[in-house]
Amino acid sequence: MRLQDEVRSIVRREGVIARRDHPELAGAMAWLVRRGELAPVLPGVFCPREVATSVEARVCALASSDPDAILTGRTAARLTFWPDLASPEVECAVRWQRARRPGFTFSRRDIPADLVIERGPLRLTSPALTALDLVASRGGDGIDRALRTRTTTLALMRSAFELTPGRAGNRDRRWMLLDSRDEPWSAAERLCHRLLRAARIKGWQANLPVVLRGQAYFLDVAFPALRLVVEIDGRLHEDDPEVFENDRWRQNALVLEGWHVLRFTWEMLREHPDRVIAAIREKIASIRSAR
């Protein structure tokens, strides 16, 4: 049992064990597979059977099987700026074509070294490139999330775009970067920015940092010269009690500090854009006439 115990020890420490790294333990690995303790994740790479289908085990197995592989798309996003993003398959770029394997999506792709980051044994696309890669499946959500978590910047995304010319879908990525020029942090903010630009309303800034009564906040859309703020309630505000409560504290602080506050929901922006713009115009005119 000594060899089997050595295999178990390696698995506990590293998460997986590769036959090519421990050829002297190949027989012990095979015995543990037959016994049902281990399961193959990739050819020659094993982990405990109960976690064999988890993203974590698959990622570790890939790093052990192919150290040059680069995690991409939803998998890279999950490991950097979007930890709760569903990633049913591990998405990765490889140098050589590989046979399809359940739980993995392999793609032949050359990724510039400047757009690859390392996390221990893992190699991933940078958050800037990852956000652009998600445009195909998630529209602007990846860009918004990356900006909100401040794991990258719009300038870095533009640089990543320039470093990856000629890709299918680049027309959509270019348009999404242009649409993100005011750096929205959510789909609702993105829609509000579009409406303001279309209405040719000037003098506003997205996610303006302020300190109110000793507390730091970011204002969704602020008109600093008018001390007017437009607060936008997206779906996160409905689903997350902490976000909902924080917004109320922020609004109270704004009012007490002499700011004017307008609030709009995602549905209001989507279903009644003319009324939203009319309300903002009316408030701007009211503030100016009172001066």
144/127 Cα distance (integer angstroms): 12
| Residue 124 · residue 81 · CB < 8 Å | no
Q: pLDDT tens digits for 142-192?
A: 999 999 999 999 999 999 999 999 999 999 999 999 999 999 999 999 999
CA dihedral over 47, 48, 52, 56, signed as positive or negative: negative
As a whole number, mean pLDDT of residues 35-44 equals 95
Among 3.40.50.620, 3.40.50.300, 3.40.50.1220, 3.40.960.10, what is the CATH number of 187-289? 3.40.960.10
Domain boundaries, the chain: 2-125, 128-179, 187-289
Q: pLDDT tens digits for 215-245?
A: 899 999 999 999 999 999 875 545 556 777 8
Helix (H) or strand (E) holding 239: helix 235-239
DSSP classification of residue 225: G
108/85 Cα distance (integer angstroms): 24
Check residue 237 and give its pLDDT. Answer: 47
Task: Tell me phi and psi for residue 125, to 5 degrees.
Answer: -65, 145
pLDDT above 90 covers a percentage of the chain that reads 86
pTM of this structure? 0.88
